[in-house]
Amino acid sequence: MPLDQLWATWRSVYVTGAAESRAHVPEGEVDDGRTLFERILDSGEPDEQTFIVHRGRHCFVILNRFPYTSGHLMVLPNRGVDDLDGLDEEEFTELWELVRVSVRVLRSVMRCDAVNVGINLGRAAGGSQADHLHVHCVPRWVGDANFMAVVGGSQVMPVPLHEVWQRLRESWPATDSIRP
């Protein structure tokens, strides 16, 4: 029996390299070699504008501006490291501790049925920001993959980014083993 194919043509940007354009330095700014996430972290903008949920000693948590679902966040080292092998022991430990805390907070705040946790290592793995390692934590609900996303090519975000940021930030543990 042949395998049916559902063409996901919107993913062609990863093949053609168009997704890489988001990593470029904005017009008028000097390319100082920092990654997009390093620039966001060091921008001086308030966390409610950058959607940074938590700042740790070596890593931080940020909402994805291009989410798969409401509450989609990412855990990243502060340094622009592109692979797990580039992390030192403190970064590695804090990264995975923050993933654990992120999943716990997502389950509590978003009341999701499950959470996908994953990393795209390298551009061919599907990551549009392959120069800065980031762990995706994506809340999932039974039935959330419906016709809108599969057939319509559209995603329905029931909760605005700012509201999700506020709810996650308010529920983030006040004290934990990773605070600076």
State phi, psi for 47 to the nearest 5 degrees. Answer: -60, -30
Residue 132 designated active-site:
no
Q: Choosing from 54, 72, 134, 136, which is the catalytic residue?
A: 134
Interatomic CA distance for residues 20 and 145, integer angstroms:
27
Looking up tokens 């559209």, which residue turns up? 154
Rounded-to-integer distance, Cα 147 and Cα 135, Å: 27
Length of the chain measured in residues: 180
On whether the CB atoms of residues 120 and 138 are closer than 8 A, the answer is no
Active site residues: 134
